[in-house]
Structure 1
Amino acid sequence: MRFKEGDIIKNNSAKHPDMRFSIFLKIDGNYIYVIRLVNNKLEEGRLYTAQLKQTYSNGKSVLEVVGHSESFLMMKRDIYLCSK
């Protein structure tokens, strides 16, 4: 499975609701870097890249893309406009 910057990921193995949904940032080595909403604050988090290959007995992936956020595109545009 390939993620794109800004993909909203659902971690089906997460027990705590704050850990269930996150926004994909990048993959670096053994980790997937994400942004999560924890206690109404944005925090950076990590998932293991090994979870990309994990599936349940019914074939459902542990990690799945459930949406996409345009926030990174907007932030890049804002930075570009400020540099002009």
Structure 2
Amino acid sequence: MKKFFEEFKEFASSFLSDVVNFIFMAFVLFCLLKAINKLTSIGHKVEEPKAPTTKKCPFCKTEIDIEATRCPHCTSVLEEAKKD
């Protein structure tokens, strides 16, 4: 019976050691994957600024299309249109 307890104690010790090692390796793998994901997402965040699509009317200060020659709100002729 004494031999049985010694063998069980050795088995339990080895089993607990294996469980702790498995949890540690899973934690290391999780941290590694998280770091790789963070590094790859940083490279994709850099975006070029987009060209403006609207401008403000100098008379009524509302936003209008960038290619407009007249303001649809106050019907003023814009300066860019006067130059042409």
Higher helix fraction: Structure 1 or Structure 2?
2
TM-score range, shorter chain: under 0.3
Higher strand fraction: Structure 1 or Structure 2?
1
TM-score when normalising by structure 2 = 0.23
- Bigger relative contact order, structure 1 or 2 (CA pairs below 8 A, ≥6 apart): 1
TM-score when normalising by structure 1 = 0.23
